[in-house]
């Protein structure tokens, strides 16, 4: 199966899973459920689910099983975008080419949408069978919760808030992004693998190296795209990092060095999984996809 | 042990657990962690933890184990208060006699505090051993997630938002409160019991009846207190339901009938657990405490 066909099949599977697990729009409270569906079923890139599927293939995991873990991670990601876009945060009106949730609905609804999407993510990972045994599944839930929380994604947001207008060093910027985007990308990858056969500590460590490199590369590329692309191409407001005086890889390293850094991280990711051979084919293709993407 | 001594001992245990599981204020991001501790360690009544402990005693559960389930429920409750108080929701400045989280810190921090407290709750219930086996624990996590989500507490908030200025019927009001406060109170009670020996379906059903009656009674009493008490006595802004044109038991039934209704619910709760005899002593005392409280 070529990469595009594989991506298409996996995207279909995760979309179907999300449609299934999100409460139907006619279930009370209807407006909240409609807004939750609006926030999630909106044509996102689904990079995190794809990483979960690719890592699942490495570990021989059943794709149907990975789909629930992938959907849970995507629900966490979607909630974070809804809250990020709120007026008290980035105050953004456009997301994936459509009005943001609080613009389409209203601010209190968007707040509750984010809250309820987070709960739903944890409902998914506890309700469906994801791993060979319940102990492993508890450990997966712990990993997801830690990645989402104050020492993961939410903590990264707090660091991001504090950094507005500040001149960060490269290590400080890296610390911020390891939390803000890296933690959840890492969780997606590791959860995907844990849906399958145990990899053993050394192999799991290699996969973790891959996930960390890809997570950081994703953010570096995001910063470059924000600086270089148009709003139309991105489907979200371009140039907003500079507008909000946010330190980014582009503001700290410049565009040319940022692109080099992304290429180095890609190589690091590829090297980390080189020893897996063909089993890591999808992981390698995804590393390329993440670094070479144009949106 | 008399009731007050028991309450004191259990409150100490849950406070110690909360202090332990909340990240220390000097761990990065410091401001977020300080704000999380501010929002949680503020002298709340801890009604939900007490219900968890009382139900745990019914099922012969170890109190140290129940403490983690109780703390997780309280983290969910605390997050909901922080988000509830935000300007786009109830816009409240006073909580438990102190400035609300967004007043003491700022709005984006309060948003992230709520988000991170929810994640931390799920980290707790997956990281610590709560039940005899991992399958039961997964089921407990599912129960907590469902109680917090769009068909539980967050859904109740959405129904509450939609009800402002509306003339609700008693069944509509009940539907709102079963979600808004009832779901999490029920979860606290059932999770406490599930930390212990399995109760069997019939007994678990009786406990569920108790939890539902107490949950609704709690809200009816809250509505009466909001209408009759002073801000100083409540430690939060009194009279705000009327001010916000929120339908309440007082606005729909009047004060006298609301008090009668609370007394009926108390009796219903007591009847539900009468068959347990002395094992339900704490549950009975808590039903009294919840209905007869003055704050």
Whether residue A233 has pLDDT greater than 90:
no
Given an 8 Å threshold on Cβ–Cβ distance, is A28 in contact with B116?
no
CA torsion through residues B19, B21, B26, B28, sign: negative
Among the listed ranges A241-250, B93-102, B110-119, B180-189, which one has the minimum average pLDDT value? A241-250
Among the listed ranges A193-197, A230-234, B79-83, B151-155, which one has the minimum average pLDDT value? A230-234
Residue of B nearest to A127 (CA): B142
Given an 8 Å threshold on Cβ–Cβ distance, is B158 in contact with A31?
yes
Indicate the domain borders of chain B.
Answer: 3-292
Residue B254 structure tokens: 């009047």
Q: Determine the pLDDT at residue B238.
A: 67
The beta-carbon neighbor of B142 closest among A29, A112, A127 is: A127
The CA distance from A101 to the nearest CA of chain B, in Å, is 14
Residue of A nearest to B159 (CA): A29
The CA distance from B281 to the nearest CA of chain A, in Å, is 32
- What tens digit of pLDDT does each residue of A282-293 get? 999 999 999 988
Residue of B nearest to A160 (CA): B29
Given an 8 Å threshold on Cβ–Cβ distance, is B83 in contact with A111?
yes
Q: Determine the pLDDT at residue B44.
A: 85
Residue of B nearest to A143 (CA): B123
Confidence class of residue A256 from pLDDT cuts 50, 70 and 90? very high
Q: Determine the pLDDT at residue A44.
A: 85
* Chain B residues closer than 8 Å to A90 by CB: none
Q: Determine the pLDDT at residue B281.
A: 97
The answer to whether B154 touches A116, Cβ cutoff 8 Å, is: yes
* Chain B residues closer than 8 Å to A142 by CB: 123, 126-127
- What tens digit of pLDDT does each residue of A84-98 get? 999 999 999 999 889
Mean pLDDT for the stretch of residues B128-150: 97
Mean pLDDT for the stretch of residues B157-170: 90
Q: Determine the pLDDT at residue A244.
A: 76
Among the listed ranges A150-159, A233-242, B11-20, B107-116, which one has the minimum average pLDDT value? A233-242
Given an 8 Å threshold on Cβ–Cβ distance, is A138 in contact with B126?
yes
Q: Determine the pLDDT at residue A231.
A: 66
The beta-carbon neighbor of B126 closest among A27, A114, A141 is: A141
Given an 8 Å threshold on Cβ–Cβ distance, is B111 in contact with A159?
no
Task: Report the distance separating Cα B275 and Cα B277, nearest Å.
Answer: 6
The beta-carbon neighbor of A145 closest among B114, B123, B162 is: B123
The beta-carbon neighbor of B111 closest among A88, A122, A152 is: A88
The beta-carbon neighbor of A150 closest among B32, B138, B149 is: B32
- What tens digit of pLDDT does each residue of B251-270 get? 999 999 999 999 999 999 99
- What tens digit of pLDDT does each residue of A113-170 get? 999 999 999 999 999 999 999 999 999 999 999 999 999 999 999 999 999 888 889 9
Task: Report the distance separating Cα B30 and Cα B36, nearest Å.
Answer: 10
Mean pLDDT for the stretch of residues A210-235: 87
Q: Determine the pLDDT at residue A245.
A: 79
Q: Determine the pLDDT at residue B244.
A: 75
Q: Determine the pLDDT at residue B126.
A: 98
- What tens digit of pLDDT does each residue of A3-17 get? 999 999 999 999 999
∠ CA A243-A245-A247, rounded to 5°: 125
% of chain B exceeding 70 in pLDDT: 97
B3-292 fold: Farnesyl Diphosphate Synthase (1.10.600)
Q: Determine the pLDDT at residue A216.
A: 96
Q: Determine the pLDDT at residue B232.
A: 65
Q: Determine the pLDDT at residue B241.
A: 74
Mutate to test the interface with B, among A112, A159, A161 (most CBs of B within 10 A): A112
């Amino acid at each position: 199966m070529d990469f595009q066909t594989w991506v298409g099949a996996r995207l279909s599977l995760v979309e179907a899973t999300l449609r299934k697990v999100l409460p139907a729009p006619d279930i009370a409270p209807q407006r909240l459920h409609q807004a939750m569906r609006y926030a999630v079923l909106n044509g996102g890139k689904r990079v995190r689910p794809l990483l979960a599927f690719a890592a699942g293939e490495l570990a021989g995991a059943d794709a149907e099983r990975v789909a629930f873990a992938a959907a849970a991670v995507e629900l966490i990601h979607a909630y974070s975008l809804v809250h990020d876009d709120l007026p008290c945060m980035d105050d953004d009106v456009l997301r994936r080419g459509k009005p943001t949730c609080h613009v389409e609905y209203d601010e209190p609804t968007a707040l509750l949408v984010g809250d309820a999407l987070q709960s739903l993510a944890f409902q998914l990972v506890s309700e469906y069978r994801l791993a060979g045994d319940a102990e492993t599944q508890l450990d997966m839930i712990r990993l997801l919760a830690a990645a989402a929380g104050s020492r993961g994604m939410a903590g990264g947001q707090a660091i991001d808030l504090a950094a507005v207008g500040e001149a960060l060093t490269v290590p400080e910027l890296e610390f911020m992004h390891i939390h803000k985007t890296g933690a959840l990308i890492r969780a997606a990858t590791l959860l995907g693998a844990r849906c399958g056969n145990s990899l053993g500590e050394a192999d799991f460590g290699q996969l973790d190296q891959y996930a960390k490199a890809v997570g950081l590369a994703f953010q570096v590329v995001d910063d470059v795209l924000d600086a270089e692309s148009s709003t139309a191409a991105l489907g979200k407001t371009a140039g907003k990092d500079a507008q909000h005086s946010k330190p980014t890889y582009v503001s700290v390293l410049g565009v040319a060095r940022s692109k080099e850094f992304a290429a180095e991280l890609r190589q690091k990711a590829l090297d980390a999984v080189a020893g897996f051979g063909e089993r890591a084919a999808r992981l390698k293709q995804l590393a390329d996809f993440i670094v070479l993407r144009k949106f």
